[in-house]
Amino acid sequence: MMGNTMSLVSAALKEGRVAPTELCQRCLSLIKSTKFLNAYITVAEETALKQAEESEKRYRRGQPLGVLDGIPIAVKDNFNTAGIETTCASNMLKGYISPYNATVVQKLLDQGAVLLGKTNLDEFAMGSGSTDGVFGPVRNPWSYSRQYKEKSVPKSHSEDKDSNWVITGGSSGGSAAAVSSFTCFAALGSDTGGSTRNPAAHCGVVGLKPTYGLISRHGLIPLVNSMDVPGILTRCVDDAAVVLGSLAGHDPKDSTTIQDNFKLFELPNLTDVSKLSIGIPKEYHAPGLSSEILALWSKAADLFKNAGAKVIEVSLPHTRYSIVCYHVLCTAEVASNMARFDGLEYGHRSDMNKSTESMYAATRREGFNAVVRGRILSGNYFLLKQNYENYFIKAQKVRRLIANDFVKVFGSGVDILLTPTTLSDAVPYTEFIKEDNRTRSAQDDILTQAANMAGLPAINVPTALSERGLPVGLQFIGRSFQEKQLLTVAKWFEKQVKFPTIQLEEVKRHDHGVFQHQKSASFL
């Protein structure tokens, strides 16, 4: 039951095979027994159970609110949740309880979803490992899977068995780990440079970054307003489509959401891909791309080709400037967005009271980690009058060029782009922290980041296990607001690759049913 997709569980709820409270309790106990993953910052046990009870009443009356009613979900801890702490994994907001719900949170609650808790992340979503938050790093559930354990041989006896655990990727690592370890059926992440797709790839789950403007950002504590999009993490593409349908549409509280009504869709089962044109952008053959992933990528391209689709190599020439351009735009907005954290209205306030200015300085020094402070510093540098033209304006122009590359490629008849999501499978934590956050982010965002620049929808589909028994995903990038097409293709691909289910000892103890649906054939 716990490893099932949301759609199956929804059916079980509807048919009364499982009650919302029972489902919620199972999730809560699974959260407890997987606490070592550090996926959650706050578990809202009490309110979750209350919500589950309400849901149960609705089911008993035969009036559930829809497919999400009674479904346990988790939300990244940078979305505001009324009455539940919202920390952004930062000292600055430790203990901060927001008086309002983010629009996306409200929409999920309005449709009966049960909010289990808030998931871990890099501080203020700045990172690609989910290792740089004040609550410690998130551990990838696959580190504890049978698949990984069988394949990874400890290098030496002296090494602790536990030291081999791998990172989730980030910054929505908590949400990815939560979905991957079966503690919830869907989770919200946020995606500014790949923060939903990257951990989805490392944790073997579906990670959707919708088109900018399709989903409200109201209540999402911003990283880069012009690129942030709430992300959706689920176990399958169909579930992502369901969650997307429940969140998408205009929000009067977010002026950057589209005015047009979003039309709900159900994903068709594609049988014929011969009319599809799949673009393979050559620039995504990036330095550092592991041979394993490269092989997987071309195998996936062949899969489409063999099924009759047109597969062509395309070029996005400005993509290589994406990272440096992102660095300027991101830090500039960060510098601006973080200005509000001054200790006056909310959040941490230093005891320093010599003057207002010294209180600001101490508050911000104590409240933010080095990564956040570093980005604030660079951002303010780029925004200085003397630098604005040379950095910010130039970066904006480059951003336009990057976006135009996509417009040209899609204009040439390509329907969907197929790329890797990450350069390699997840690396062990000990390995990951050898590099600093900035270097890591620059490397890891390289394949995901251009989609944010252009505002395009993109999705990670878990594809196969690496030689080390860890998940590897591929990314599909679609046209603006063409989520239906994107997800339809992703669903077809998902069906072909038959990604294996994680085999977790922890989960096994809680739910014997999990392995009944185990898939035997896998892509690699």
Interface residue list for another protein (CB under 8 A): 79-80, 86, 88, 93, 98-100, 102, 217-222, 224-226, 252-256, 332-333, 335-336, 338-342, 344-346, 356-357, 360, 380, 383-385, 388, 392
Tokens 């590099």 appear where?
Answer: 435
Closer residue to another protein (CB): 105 or 409: 105
Backbone φ, ψ for residue 466 (5° rounding): -75, 175
Tokens 């606490």 appear where?
Answer: 35
DSSP annotation of 51: H
Catalytic residue among 7, 98, 143, 171: 171
Secondary-structure breakdown of the chain: helix, strand, coil percentages, each rounded to the nearest 5: 45, 15, 40
Could you tell me the smallest distance in angstroms from the CB atom of residue 182 to another protein? 29
* Catalytic residue list contains 263: no
Question: Nearest 5°: CA angle at 439, between 174 and 191?
Answer: 40
What residues does 278 pair with on adjacent strands? 311, 416
Closer residue to another protein (CB): 72 or 222: 222
Number of Cα atoms under 13 Å in the Cβ half of residue 6: 31
Could you tell me the smallest distance in angstroms from the CB atom of residue 249 to another protein? 16
Could you tell me the smallest distance in angstroms from the CB atom of residue 240 to another protein? 23
Backbone φ, ψ for residue 356 (5° rounding): -60, -40
Could you tell me the smallest distance in angstroms from the CB atom of residue 178 to another protein? 21
Could you tell me the smallest distance in angstroms from the CB atom of residue 385 to another protein? 5
Closer residue to another protein (CB): 91 or 298: 91
Which residues contact residue 410 at a Cβ distance below 8 angstroms, ignoring those fewer than 6 apart?
479
Could you tell me the smallest distance in angstroms from the CB atom of residue 355 to another protein? 9
**Cα–Cα dist 55/11, whole Å:** 14
Q: CB of 54 within 8 A of CB of 132?
A: no
Catalytic residue among 143, 180, 181, 195: 195
CB atoms within 10 A of CB 320: 15
Could you tell me the smallest distance in angstroms from the CB atom of residue 239 to another protein? 25
Backbone φ, ψ for residue 137 (5° rounding): -75, 155
Closer residue to another protein (CB): 11 or 344: 344
Could you tell me the smallest distance in angstroms from the CB atom of residue 252 to another protein? 7
CA-wise closest residue to 30 among 52, 9, 2: 2
Tokens 């920390």 appear where?
Answer: 87
What residues does 119 pair with on adjacent strands? 40, 76
Could you tell me the smallest distance in angstroms from the CB atom of residue 402 to another protein? 17
CA torsion through residues 250, 68, 472, 415, sign:
negative
Closer residue to another protein (CB): 219 or 471: 219
**Cα–Cα dist 508/524, whole Å:** 25
Closer residue to another protein (CB): 218 or 479: 218
**Cα–Cα dist 95/116, whole Å:** 18
Q: Diameter of the chain by CA atoms?
A: 72
Please name the helix (run of DSSP H) or strand (run of DSSP E) that holds residue 14, with its range, or none.
Answer: helix 6-14
* Catalytic residue list contains 145: no
* Catalytic residue list contains 498: no
Closer residue to another protein (CB): 203 or 224: 224
**Cα–Cα dist 181/504, whole Å:** 8
Could you tell me the smallest distance in angstroms from the CB atom of residue 108 to another protein? 16
β-strand 416-420 against 471-477: which pairing, if any? antiparallel
**Cα–Cα dist 140/142, whole Å:** 5
Closer residue to another protein (CB): 79 or 165: 79
β-strand 229-234 against 206-209: which pairing, if any? antiparallel
**Which pair of tokens denotes residue 386?**
């003397």
**Cα–Cα dist 82/91, whole Å:** 19
CB atoms within 10 A of CB 106: 18
Closer residue to another protein (CB): 256 or 404: 256
Q: CB of 124 within 8 A of CB of 94?
A: no
Catalytic residue among 7, 10, 76, 128: 76
Report the catalytic residues: 76, 171, 195
